[in-house]
Amino acid sequence: MNKYIVILLMFFSTLSVADTLYITLEKDNALAIVDGESGKLLKTVPLGQRPRGLAFSKDQAYLYVAASDDDTIQILDAVTLKVVGHLPSGDDPELFKIHPNGLWLYVSNEDDNKVTVIDLQKKTAIAEIAVGVEPEGIAISQDGQWVVNTSETTNMVHWIDPQEQQVKENTLVDPRPRAAEFSVDGQWLFVSSEIAGSLSRIDVSSKQVSAKLHFKVAGVNDELIQPVGVLAHPNNELLFVALGPANRVAVVDIKTMTVKKYLLVGQRVWNLAFSPDMKRLYTTNGASNDISIIDVDKLKVTKSVRVGHYPWGIAVKAESGDSSSAGSMKLKPAKP
């Protein structure tokens, strides 16, 4: 009898939602498509030059990919993965995010010190917002009230009001801020600072830094601890931070701002994404040309998969076609 229960349990444990990973390969000018559950590389599709950030449209019909060296965002049909159009992204697009209204896409233009807002229906730029030197990360609060942009050389977080498409406030953070991520309840904004090796927690209501965490990994030089990608768990308790050349992902308790665990992944870990069922966390590891797959419940690295040269961005699509996708460019899973 017990045998049957075990078999039954095994059946359920493998019955997670199937998902597909879309990973930009910066040096291959291509998109790797990987089955999330088996970790199998399914195929590779050619893209424009130096593809980096990517995200699905709200209805999952299109996949947008920033082709940085082509100065454009390519629009791919999400099913055929053929290029069906372009967006006027401005020069050197790297990171972008889509507003919860599904209509506005915010992209940072590193060379021009501005953020461009693109209307996804009209496929035209509707606003250019002057920000600090070398704008990088973009984050959008789930309620759509705030769009934030980090500028790497100015060392600030710029708070953009999407109704007016204007900078309303600025917060000074540690040197070379990279990624930004709102907590799922919208109370906090987390910002990683690559050169300082720190994570700032900013109170969204006051726009002031309320807590700061400096990462320390035993046996790793402080200089190599360079936090980049940041991803919030929907449980509003955990935050995952990619530490670049420290080859670790830090699991951070957001209340106490302490590190629960460091997970050893591939080299120069960059961006992060969850599987739609929240069972797995995926990391792109630029220098080792692979992705790592982490069991989110056990906080254990289970697998690494070679995908191509310099994997950079990652977007995840549920095979059931629900609206969750993740990664540096993800849309948040809907609130329960």
Partner 1 sequence: MRHILLILRFIGYIACSIACFSSSVYADNLAVDMAFLTEKMSHPAALSNLDPVLSDAGVQGAILATKDNNTTGMFTGHHYELKRVDVLVGEDVVSEFNQLVADGYQYVVADVQTVTLKKLSVIAKANNVLLFNVSSTDGELRNESCSTNTFHIIPSDEMKADALAQLMLKKRWTKWFLVKGTDHEDLRFTKAIKRSAARFGIKLVEEKTWSFDHDARRTAQAEIPVFTQGADYDVMLVADVKGLFGEYLTMNTWRPRPVIGTQGLVPTAWHRTHERWGAVQMQNRFYKQAGRWMNDIDYSAWLAVRAIGEAVTRSNSVQLDDVKKFMLSDQFSLAGFKGVKLTFRQWNQQLRQPILLAMPRAIVSVLPHKEFLHPRTYLDTLGYDEPESTCRL
Query: Rounded to 5 degrees, what are φ and ψ at 240?
Result: -110, 130
Instruction: Report in angstroms how near the CB of residue 92 gets to partner 1 at its nearest.
Output: 8
Tokens 């690494």 correspond to 304
Instruction: Report in angstroms how near the CB of residue 195 gets to partner 1 at its nearest.
Output: 4
Contact flag: residue 153 with partner 1 (CB under 8 A): yes
Calculate the CA dihedral of residues 295, 301, 302, 304 and round it to 10 degrees: 120
Question: Strand order of the sheet with strand 19-25?
Answer: 40-46, 30-35, 19-25, 311-318
Contact flag: residue 264 with partner 1 (CB under 8 A): no
Contact flag: residue 17 with partner 1 (CB under 8 A): no
For residues 125 and 287, which CB has a smaller minimum distance to partner 1 in the complex?
Answer: 287
Contact flag: residue 100 with partner 1 (CB under 8 A): no
234-263 footprint of partner 1 as x/- string (CB under 8 A)? -----------x------------------
Query: Rounded to 5 degrees, what are φ and ψ at 7?
Result: -60, -40
Contact flag: residue 154 with partner 1 (CB under 8 A): yes
> Where in 123-142 is the site for partner 1 (CB under 8 A)?
130, 132-134
For residues 36 and 177, which CB has a smaller minimum distance to partner 1 in the complex?
Answer: 177
Contacts of the segment 287-291: beta carbons below 8 A, 24+ positions apart: 287/245, 290/266, 291/21, 291/23, 291/34, 291/266
Contact flag: residue 67 with partner 1 (CB under 8 A): no
Longest dimension (CA), the chain: 68
Q: Is 124 helix (H, G, I), strand (E, B) or coil?
A: strand
Q: Which tokens sit at 125?
A: 């730029």
Contact flag: residue 155 with partner 1 (CB under 8 A): yes
CA dist., res. 127 & res. 125, Å (int)? 6
User: Which residue type sits at 150?
Assistant: T
Q: Which stretch binds partner 1 (CB under 8 A): 55-63, 120-128, 163-171, 291-299?
A: 163-171
186-205 footprint of partner 1 as x/- string (CB under 8 A)? --------xxxx--------
Q: Are 325 and 55 spatial neighbours (Cβ–Cβ below 8 Å)?
A: yes
Q: Give the binding site for partner 1 (CB under 8 A).
A: 92, 110-111, 113, 130, 132-134, 152-156, 158, 167-170, 172, 174-176, 194-197, 221-224, 226, 245
